[in-house]
Every structure is written in structure tokens, then in C-alpha cells.
Amino acid sequence: MGYLSRRFLPRQQVPAGNQDNPKTFSYGIKLLYGPDDGNIDIIFIHGLTGDRDATWTARVATDPWPKALLPHIIPTARILTFGYDANVADWKGVVSQNRIANHATNLLTALSTYRENDGTNERPIIFVCHSLGGLVCEDALLASNQRPEPHLRNILHYTRGIVFLGTPHHGSGLARWAEALSQSIGLVKKTNSKILGVLKRDSEVLARIQDGFHTMVKSRSAQGLPPIQITCFYEELPLPGVGLVVPQHSAILPGYIPIGIHSNHMDMTKFAGSTDPGFLAVCGEMRRWNKDAQTGSEYDATQPPAKSVLEKPGSSSQYDNNNRQHNSLGDRQKTVSGSYYEINRDQHLGTVPRKEIPFPRNDDIVDRAAIVTELDVLFQSPKSHSAALWGLGGSGKTQVALEFAWRQSEDSICSVFWVHADTHATFAQDYQAIAGKLGLPDEITGEKLLTAVRERIEILPRWLLVLDNADDLTVFGVSPAGGSLAESSSLCTYIPQGANGRVLWTSRDNRIVGTLVSVRRGIQVGRMSTDEAFCLLGKLKNGEGEISNGEESDAWKLLEELQWLPLAISQASAYMRRTSMPIQQYLSRLFLETWNISVERIRQDNEMAYKILHTIAYVNNESIPIEIMAAVDTLGNGCQERSSFETQDQVMEAITRLREFPFLSVREEEGLAQQYEIHKLVQEATRYELGVRGTEDAAYFSNAALQIITRLFPESKPNSGPETWRECERYVTHAVEVGKWAEVCERGEEVSDLLDRVSRYFHHRGRWIDSQPVNERVYELRQQMLDEKHPDTIRSLASLAAAYHAQGRYSEAEPMVVKALELRQQVLGEKHPDTISSLVHLATTYYAQGRYSEAEPMVVKALELRQQVLGEKHPGTISSLVDLAATYYARGRYSEAEPMVVKALELGQQVLGEKHPDTIRSLASLATTYHAQGRYSEAEPMEVKALELRQQVLGEKHPDTIRSLASLATTYHAQGRYSEAEPMEVKALELRQQVLGEKHPDTIRSLAHLASTYRALGRHREAETLEVKASELQEQPLDKNPDTI
């Protein structure tokens, strides 16, 4: 068992025969197959941490497939494999410090000498390269092109094809994985930082290799040389616990065939038989190239070479005797599936672009040509694929971005996505909508969904992502001082990257430049130019785009007063058009401010529209359901419900008035009920105008918003169904926003009660990051309204502590739990049930940190108090029995733990019933106790039953259900039933990553369990990968659970 697995799973055992041994590398060229009539050389080059034999050998095979299978397909091919030390780290602490260039030189020299020695240096060559080996091959061919020696130059001269298998042409997750391997404490003593540097994005070495290689390949035609045919294969499956090591966008080269292999990065080179789809695909390419090479091996340099199939759109090539793949080489991509090949548009999105733009195109937009041109120039740069529009609210940033997005959507293969980047919640909502467009499964949620959307966008052939209103940069990891916040609080992780795409930000905060985009990639959007402003005023005022000669002077004055800002011009124009007012008369009233003029006119036209405008100033400005606006007129004086309701027609008339001015815009999303948006500046101006008039009106409308959202936001329960979750999601951002205005509406207690419900919803959905600020706000409000010692205030403090605990942040939760316990002891007394609960919570926090000697007396005391106060058969008392048994178990006192759990189980069955969650917990605890004593045959049926009951009662994704799944897998492992344990451990890991996040202690524990099983199965490289990942996560700033140390 590897070092990390021993640290993570001290009680699991692996047979001695499976212990890992340090590796000795085989260097240079090795002959795998040499026919007497050989006429082509095929050279295999392994990748990072690979081996010249093992990389190409399936688990069930004794020989590498190039030796065992390939000669039957291309019998005249001499098959060679090249070995080099590609480890970034070594168990013994000794690692080669060779760079990519050194390995490339060694390959070139070894291969040319091998061919020179036996007189075969004029044979055609095909290279098959995995991972890092592709870069070594490219650099070797570059070196061949630059060398004067004929035998070295011949390598490039006779190269006819290259198969790339998971090669990171643009930098990739491979760098992150490799660096984690090199930095794992206790695992590695010495690293090769030179190789790591090449694998990172923006690596100068990688850029040199790629630029030089592509220039060289493209120049061959002009030189009268045969083309080098290239096919790029990419992995379709993630490594468990790691993800895609080299995503598709990194593994493919524009203009060349991309083919998916239905395997992960480590297994995509290991073909078990001649019917393996990956084997057929790779061999199909090489067989075709061999045929071309033999028919054109003698060429006349004075004649241009015949075009390859890559240059013939619509041509076809045969991959086996039964299947023929047609590829137009636009952006269709082949994928290996089953035993045949097909164009899989659903999985890879093909040529059908996805559009997720929530606003219709604005026909009245004035083309701000200078800004759009500057955007085009920025996005043409190959060095970066992001840019930011920043400036004051109302300067037109969103309109410029919207027009740019619609222009990009005219590209027949470009997908365009729009995300409101105000908060975590709006970001997540829009990613959920995008997930639907991309065909992702409905059951994916939380961090898993955000990651899946990012990865799916990254593989699109061309895409644009607009991140609008990113005014709060802390959401993306930028601190108020301009530095970086903790990664766990940043959404930057979920923003797609890659050469195929572009990211456009809009923000009021100029610090976005230099933090989220580089210094030279920001565009300040300020006042409009004279021509632009005159054109906008004319378009919106009279629909003609021009101002009459008689009004030019007045128009100039008006535009100066409006500071040439698009939003202000739009408001003024709408009012003048609506009232047929000349500019001069409008100017005479301008001292009343543009805002007041428009709002007053709305009030005269439609009182309901006026009320809606002022009420929605206190909800989130995006995705406003019509139900919120329709509910405004159901509130009478004092915001109490009254029986009279406006008809749907009257509601729509009010909304139409607001859109005409334009205060409101419609958000269009396919398949969803119509929603609306209001500009932030309009909300701010509305609240400012109410504030100027005094506190009474502001209190009225903010209270109206509170009452409406309180009524519409459903009560959430742990077992609520999808319909309730959807309703909660529709209103959750508005509930959070209403919570900001407690001081204005003077209803702090009601606001705290609403936010309490929001907190429960986030808790039930596992959205710990979202729940934390909500709990903080509830605690703050209750301190103000009720004082620190009020029972509800203490309960809020305990809930906040629970949010930290649920994230695995035990050291932050502990002082809060201590404070809640002390306050409850003072206010409620030692024997109050809530006080005892706080005592239990503190013991649980100590237990989670491995401080069992401190936890035990607290659990004993809690049990005694509950027996006295609540009685033997109270659910709380039964729960304390299980808590104490768990503490004894953790300290190895199994004989003391067992009778307590047996008693708790019997009482739970009597009092609560077999299917109550607490009874199931007792059953699972008893199974764990049996497991710890080696009584696996007794533990197993209990664990099976606990899992089945939890799946029925709690659902598959509940943390307790996942814990039962992992426990059963551990029992199988302990009995040596590794093949049965593995799929269960994989599933537990995936579910924990989805529900809890990859940094949660339970998730890290699952990584270690799976690594241990892989080692027991002899799959040491996969085990090593997971151990590295676990170690990397363990060293990050989340509290360490003793089971993960």
C-alpha cells in the first residue's frame, strides 16, 4: 500500500505482494517487431511518468499491443518504442533533470543512429505519441529540421504521420496534476521543474515548440515535400478524483482530425484486443498513412505533392472492413463508441451552436464603432482570450456587450452564452440554464454542475461567454485591497478557458483590469462621442436617428446636461417621445432631474406601474418573475393583503409602460416562464428618490418587497421534491436581496425569519458557500433586534457554526459553538435541551478534529443530562448513546461501544421505527463497530440494509447515504473483494465531489479509499494519481480530519 493510503486508511490491509517498488527506467530505442520485408518504421513514444513497454500494455495483457496486435494490421512495419525518464518525481528522491529539448535530442539521435546502422534511414516514419511524448516528438522534428547532418535531417524528411494521444498542445490539467505529484509531502524528494514549466499555460517553451512545429509542417507543401498527416486523439473519460487531464480543447489541433477515445488519460494507450474501438481507430489512421507512403515514397521534388485527405473537404477514409467515416473537417468530430465510429453531435456538440442570450437585439442601438473595433483587435490576439468593458453605471457597457454577443452569434459555429455575474447565486442560476442548453443531465447540481458547464463549453469549436455586471470582484476571488481571496470563495475556477473561446466581462470596478484580465485588455466605456449621442437621441426621440436643425442647439445643451451617458439619454428620449415634448421645454424642466420627470409621468399614466417600479427596487435586478410584480397590487395600505386583484391585462399594461421608458427589459429563456430585468442604476435612482422624500415611502416599498417575497418563497424541508426546489430557486436571489434592506423597512425580525428559511434551503441543497453569508446576516440582525442573549440570536450563532462545520472548517466553527454553549448555559441553564444540544455540537467538533479525549466527557455528560431531563426513550437520549459509542469506537474501545449501539438500535426501533434516520444511524454505527472488530460477515448485511433504507428515506445524494455506500465498499475491501468495492468507491467519490465539494474531508477520505483499492488491484499508477490528489487537497487551507491525515 502506498504511503498516502497508509496515512488515510490505517485499518485497511493490502497483501504484501502488492507493495509498490521503486521503478528503474528503460532508456532509448527498443525493437518490438522487425519483419524481414519491413518498409516503414512506427515509433511509439510514451508520456509523463510513462514507460516504453508498460504505457502500451493493457492490464490483462502480457505484451504491449504494438508488439502483440499491430503486426497483424501492418505486417511490413518495423515497430520500435522509445524510453526516457519522464517522471517529474521519484520515490527514491532521484529524478532526471533533463528538459523537453534534451529528451527530443536523445530521441532524434537514437532513432537516426538506429536507422543509419542498418541502412534503413530512407524508410517512411510514423510516430505514435502519448501525452508529453507528443511534445518530445515535435521538438525532435524541429531539431531535425535545424541540423546539417543528413542522417538527422532524414528523420523529418521521411516522417509521414503523427498520432497524438492526449498531447497537451495548449497547456492543460496535466501541469496541475504533475505539479501536485512533485510537491506531495512525504512522497517526493526531488522534482523536475523544467518539465513542469513546459506544461503550464502561457509556457514560452510550449509556445516555441508549437509555433515552430506548425510553421514547419505548413511550409512543407511550399517546399515540394510530402505532407505530414496528423490525427489528434483525446480522452473522453475523467480520471477518478482528478477529472480530464488533457481536455479536448488542449488535445486537438485546428485543421486536423480530432477523434475521441472512450477512456481516461492513463488508459487511452492500453488496448486489450483487436476489436477495441480505440485500437481500430489508431490503426485505421496508420494503415491509411502507410498505404499513402508506399505509393508516394519516391517523389519528384519539382512537382507539388498530391493533396492529403486533410485538404479535401468531404473526402472519406476507411477505418475497417465494415465502417466508413465521412468527415468534412469543418468542426465535426469523430468519437470512438462501441465497435464503430460515428459523428456524435449530442456528446461533442458538433457544428450546432448554442445561444443563451437573455435579451433581444436592440434595434435602437447606436454602433459605438471605436469600442467594438477595439474589442475585435483584443480578441484577435493569440496570447489572451479575455477582455473587460468597465465604466460608470449607465455608460452602456451591457449594450455594447449585447451587440457584440449578437454579432458573434451570426457565426454559424460560434456558441454564445450570457451570465449575470453579480453574485454567486445569479452566476449559478445562469450556469444552470446553460447546462440545459448543453444537454447536461438534470441531476447534476452544485459545484459539479459549474464544473461540467465549464468543461462542456471548453470543447466547443468556437464560443463566447459574457460575464455581465461583475461589479463585486470578491465573487471572483479579488479582495477589496486588490489581492487574492481564498480559492474556495472564488468563481474563477468555473470560467472556461482555451484557444477556441473568448470571455468578455463588464464591470463598474476598474480593478478588474490587472486582476481578472491583464492590464492591456481593459476598455473603459465612458461618455458617448458627439455623433453617437446625437444619433441615439434622434433614434429614441423620433425614430429617425437625426435631430432637426431647429433643435440642434438645444440637443447639444441637453446632452451636456446628461453627461453623454446612454442610459440618461434613453430615459430623456423616452419621456419626450411619450409626451411629444420638444427638447427646449424638456430642458426648462431638467432641474427636476431626468429621473423625476420620467417617474412622475409614469405615476400619472399608470399607478400600478409606479408601485411596481418602486417595489422591485428592493429585489434582485435580474430574473424577476412576473409573479412578484403581479403581487404588488394585492397589497393595500400597511402592506396587508387585500381581496381585490388586478387582472393579468392590467399587470401587463403596467409592465409595458415600464418597458417603454425604458426602466424594464424582458429576459427571454427558452422553456422558462417570462422574467424581467431592471438596470442597477434605475434601482439606485429609485431608492435615492425615495430617500430624498423621507423614510416613510422607502419603508413602505421595501416592506412591500419583503411581504411579497416572504409569501412567494416556499418553506424548504430536507425531503422537499423538485417542484419545491424550483420554486425556491426562482425567488432565492430576491430573498437574499430583500435581506439587505432590513434597516430601511424597519422589519428586522421578519427579515431574519425570511433569511432563516433561505439558509435552510441552501443547507438542504448543500450550498455551503451561499448559506454562510445568509447565516451571518441573520445573526447580525438578531443581535441588533433581540440582543446577544436572546434564544433566537443564540440559535442563529449555532446555525452559523453549523455552516462552517458542514464545510469542514472546524477551527472556525469551534469558537462559535463554545460561545453558543456558554450563552445557553447562562440564559437557559445547563439542563435546557438547547444547552445540551450545544454541548453535543462542541463534542462533535472536537471529535471531527480527532480530539477524542476532550469529546468523551462532554458526550458522557450530554447523555446523563438527557437521561435526566428527557428520559431514556427520548430521541435525543438515543442519539447521545450513539455519540458516546462513536467516541469509544474512535479510541478503539469496541467492547464498550457495542452494547451502547445495540441498546440505541433497539430503543430507536421501538420509539422511532425502523425507517427513522436516527434508527438507521444506529444500525450503521453497529455495523461499523463489527467492522472494526474484524467481524465482516456480521457487519455486511447491516451495512446493506442501512444503505437500502437511507436510499429510500433520504435519497441517493444525501451525505448519510453516501457514507453508507462508502462503508459497504470498505467492508468489501477488507474481505479482499476489491473488484466489488471499486465501483462503489468510485460512485461514493463522485457523489461526494458533487454534493460536498472536492475539498471536504469526506471527499478526501473517498480519494484515499479508492487509491487503496487500486493498489490492492495492482493498478499502482492510478493509485498514485489519487494519492497525489488527496495529498494536494489535504495541504490546502481546510481543517484536517484525523481520518485524512
Residues 370 and 446 in one domain: yes
DSSP per-residue codes, 322-379? S-EEE--SSS--EEEETTEEEE-HHHH-TT---EE--S---TT----HHHHHHHHHHH
Res. 637 pLDDT band, cuts 50 70 90:
very low
- Nearest CA-CA partner of 365 in 405, 389, 341, 396: 396
The torsion angles phi and psi of 815, rounded to 5 degrees, stand at -65, -30
d(CA 562, CA 594): 8
Of 771, 786, 801, the domain-final residue: 786
Beta-carbon contacts of 741 under 8 Å, excluding residues fewer than 6 positions away, are 618, 702, 705, 706, 751
Cβ neighbours for 486, distance < 8 A, ≥ 6 positions apart: 477, 1037
Residues 747-804 have pLDDT tens digits of 999 999 999 999 988 877 767 778 899 999 999 999 998 889 999 999 999 999 988 8
Q: What number of other Cβ atoms are within 10 A of residue 777's Cβ?
A: 21
Kindly state the average pLDDT of the residues 668-687: 76
* Structural domain count, the chain: 6
Which grid cell is 236?
A: 473522453
Measured in whole angstroms, the distance separating CA 530 from the mean position of its chain's CA atoms is: 43
Is residue 848 domain-resident?
A: no
Task: Provide the β-strand partners of residue 159.
Answer: 125
What DSSP state is assigned to residue 997? Answer: -
Residue 872 falls inside a structural domain:
no
Strand pairing of 664-667 and 522-524? Answer: unpaired
For residues 128 and 491, which has the higher predicted lDDT (pLDDT)? 128
Q: Which CB contacts under 8 angstroms, 24+ apart, belong to 632-635? A: 632/608, 632/704, 632/708, 633/608, 635/704, 635/707, 635/708
Considering all CA atoms of the chain, what is the largest pairwise distance in Å, rounded to the nearest integer?
Answer: 102
Confidence of residue 22 (pLDDT cuts 50, 70, 90): very low
- What does the alpha-carbon distance between residue 816 and residue 841 come to, in Å, rounded to a whole number? 10
- 880 lies in some domain: no
* Cβ-based neighbours of 574, under 8 Å, separated by 6 or more: 540, 598, 660, 661, 662
CATH of the domain at 202: 3.40.50.1820
For residue 266, what pLDDT is reported? Answer: 87
Q: How buried is residue 322: exposed, middle or buried, by Cβ count under 10 Å (0-12/13-18/19+)? A: exposed
715 has a pLDDT exceeding 60 = yes
Can you give the pLDDT at residue 370?
73
Strand partners, 506: 389
How many Cβ atoms sit within 10 Å of the Cβ of residue 321?
A: 6
Does residue 718 share a domain with residue 637?
A: no
Rounded CA-CA distance 759/802 in Å is 11
Residue 524: phi, psi to the nearest 5? Answer: -80, 125
| Reduced 3-state DSSP string for 302-333 | CCCCCCCHHHCCCCEEECCCCCEEECCCCCCC
pLDDT digits (tens, 9 = 90+) for 821-849: 999 999 999 999 999 888 998 998 888 88
C-alpha to C-alpha distance for 924 and 526, rounded to whole angstroms: 63
Q: What are the backbone angles phi and psi of residue 426, rounded to the nearest 5°?
A: -65, -35
Closest CA to 610 of 576, 577, 654, 673: 654
Indicate whether 193 and 280 sit together in one domain. yes
Same domain for 189 and 145: yes
The four Cα atoms 987, 990, 994, 995 give a dihedral, to 10 degrees, of 50
Q: Which of 449-453, 464-468, 557-561, 605-609 has the weakest average pLDDT?
A: 557-561
The answer to whether 1007 and 1030 have CB atoms below 8 angstroms apart is yes
* 670 and 567 housed in the same domain: no
The answer to the question of residue 774 being in a domain is yes
| Per-residue pLDDT tens over the stretch 606-631 | 888 999 999 999 999 888 999 999 89
The model's pLDDT over 134-175, given as tens digits with 9 standing for 90+, comes to: 989 998 998 998 888 888 889 999 999 999 999 887 654 444
CATH of the domain at 646: 1.10.10.10
Which of 13-22, 81-90, 623-632, 946-955 comes out lowest in average pLDDT?
13-22
* pLDDT for the residue numbered 696: 87
Strand 522-524 relative to strand 386-390, pairing: parallel
Contact 254, 313 (CB under 8 A): no
Is 658 among the domain residues?
A: yes
Return the percentage of the chain with pLDDT > 70, whole number. 76
- The DSSP letter of residue 637 is G
Show contacts of 156-159: CB within 8 Å, 24+ apart.
156/216, 157/225, 158/121, 158/122, 158/123, 158/124, 158/125, 159/124, 159/125, 159/126, 159/127, 159/228
In the predicted structure, residue 539 carries a pLDDT above the cut 80: no
The tens digit of pLDDT for each residue in 170-205 reads 654 444 444 444 443 333 333 444 444 444 444 455
% of residues, the chain, pLDDT over 90: 27
Q: Work out the mean pLDDT of the chain and round it to a whole number.
A: 78
Secondary structure (3-state) at 275: coil
Q: Which of 795, 859, 782, 875 is nearest to 827 (CA)?
A: 795
Of all helices (H) and strands (E), which one includes residue 13? none
Judge whether 97 lies within some domain.
Answer: yes
In three-state secondary structure terms, 244 is coil
In the chain the first and final C-alpha atoms are separated, in Å, by 15
572 and 504 within one domain: no
Query: In sequence order, what DSSP letters do the residues of 374-417 get, joined into one string?
Result: HHHHHHH-SS--EEEEE-STTSSHHHHHHHHHHHHHTSTTEEEE
Q: Whole-angstrom Cα distance, residue 140 to residue 99?
A: 12
485 vs 698, residue with greater confidence: 698
pLDDT higher than threshold 70 for residue 24: no
DSSP string, 23-92: -----EEEEEE--TT--EEEEEE--TT--TTGGG--TT-SS-HHHHTHHHHSTTEEEEEEE----SB-TT
The predicted pLDDT at position 731 comes to 94
The answer to pTM > 0.85 is: no
**How would residue 588 be classed by pLDDT, with cut points 50, 70 and 90?**
low
Whole-angstrom distance, CA of residue 342 vs CA of residue 334 = 6
State the pLDDT confidence band at 280, using cuts at 50, 70 and 90.
confident
Out of 70-84, 344-358, 850-864, 926-940, the most confident range is 70-84
User: Within this chain, do residues 646 and 679 fall inside the same structural domain, yes or no?
Assistant: yes
Residues 370 and 281 in one domain: no
Model confidence pLDDT, tens digit, residues 308-360: 222 333 333 323 333 333 332 233 334 343 322 332 333 444 445 677 787 77
The residue among 122 and 314 whose pLDDT is bigger is 122
- Domain assignment present for residue 811? The answer is no
Query: d(Cα 658, Cα 696) in Å, to the nearest integer?
Result: 24
Residues 276 and 379 in one domain: no
Which ranges in 807-916 belong to alpha helices (H)? 810-827, 833-848, 852-869, 875-890, 894-911
Is residue 69 domain-shared with residue 128, that is, in the same domain? yes
What is the rounded CA–CA span in Å between residue 733 and residue 519?
Answer: 32
Query: What local confidence, expressed as pLDDT, does residue 207 receive?
Result: 63
User: 715: alpha, beta or left, given left = phi > 0 and alpha = psi -120 to 50?
Assistant: beta
3-state helix, strand, coil in the chain (%, to 5): 55, 10, 35
Grid look-up 474556495 returns 488
Q: Residue 463 in contact with residue 414, Cβ under 8 Å?
A: yes
In which residue are the cell numbers 534534451 written? 102
- Cis? peptide before 662, omega within 30° of 0: yes
Q: What gap in Å lies between CA 431 and CA 803, rounded to an integer?
A: 24
Return the pLDDT at 711: 94
Give the residue numbers spanning the domain of 744. 713-786
Q: What is the DSSP letter of 623?
A: S
- CATH number of 440's domain: 3.40.50.300
Q: Measured between alpha carbons, how far is 745 from 738 in angstroms, rounded to an integer? A: 10
Distance CA 847, CA 883 (A): 10
Q: How far is CA 283 from CA 65, 74, 295, 367, 396, in A?
A: 11, 8, 18, 53, 55
DSSP state of 166: S
* Residues 146 and 85 grouped into a single domain: yes
Who has greater pLDDT, 739 or 358? 739
Q: What pLDDT does residue 362 have?
A: 63
Residue 896 in domain = no
- d(C-alpha 9, C-alpha 1015), whole Å: 13
CA–CA gap between residue 576 and residue 540 (Å, rounded)? 9
Average pLDDT over residues 890-917: 87
* 388 and 413 co-located in one domain: yes
